């Protein structure tokens, strides 16, 4: 069983990867993020690309979880960036889960919620 502090096929803890995603959502580039989290530029660039490729599906997943955990919650406001929207909805869902079930680091919630596949392969699109 995968621990919530990790992601599938990633050597770095989900909290480190999550910090990089937060920096990107705040407008930082991959080089400055790599310096901030102390990881190679190519590693951080890979995280950001993979999350970006999965962002729409993750936004949908975390929006659904957010509303399931807090039925009275208002809809999130789009930021104009699917990447940033996905990170925002992840945070809102994690906060709603913490209110219901007790504190847990947001990135560990995210890892558990997506089965460790936060940066997993992008599902293939059927052309049939």
Every domain of the chain and the residues it spans: 14-113
Residue 33 predicted with pLDDT over 70: yes
Nearest to residue 8, comparing CAs of 122, 121, 116?
A: 116
Residue 115: per-residue pLDDT: 83
pLDDT at 18 exceeding the cut of 80? yes
Question: Contacts for 66-70 with beta carbons within 8 Å, 24 or more apart?
Answer: 66/92, 66/93, 66/96, 69/93, 69/96, 69/97, 69/99, 69/100, 70/96, 70/99, 70/100
Closest alpha carbon to 55 in 65, 45, 47: 47
Condensed to tens digits (0 to 9), the pLDDT of residues 51-89 reads 999 999 999 999 999 999 998 887 778 888 999 999 999
């Amino acid at each position: 069983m995968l621990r919530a502090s990790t992601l599938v096929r990633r050597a770095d803890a989900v909290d480190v990867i999550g910090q990089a995603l937060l920096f990107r959502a705040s407008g930082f580039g991959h080089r400055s993020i790599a310096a901030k989290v102390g990881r190679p530029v190519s590693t951080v660039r890979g995280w950001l690309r993979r999350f970006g490729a999965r962002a729409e599906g993750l936004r949908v997943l975390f929006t659904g979880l957010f509303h399931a955990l807090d039925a009275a919650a208002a809809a999130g406001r789009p930021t104009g960036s699917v990447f940033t929207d996905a990170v925002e909805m992840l945070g809102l869902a994690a906060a709603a889960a913490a209110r219901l079930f007790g504190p847990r680091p947001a990135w560990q919630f995210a890892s558990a919620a997506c089965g460790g596949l936060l940066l997993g392969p992008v599902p293939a699109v059927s052309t049939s």
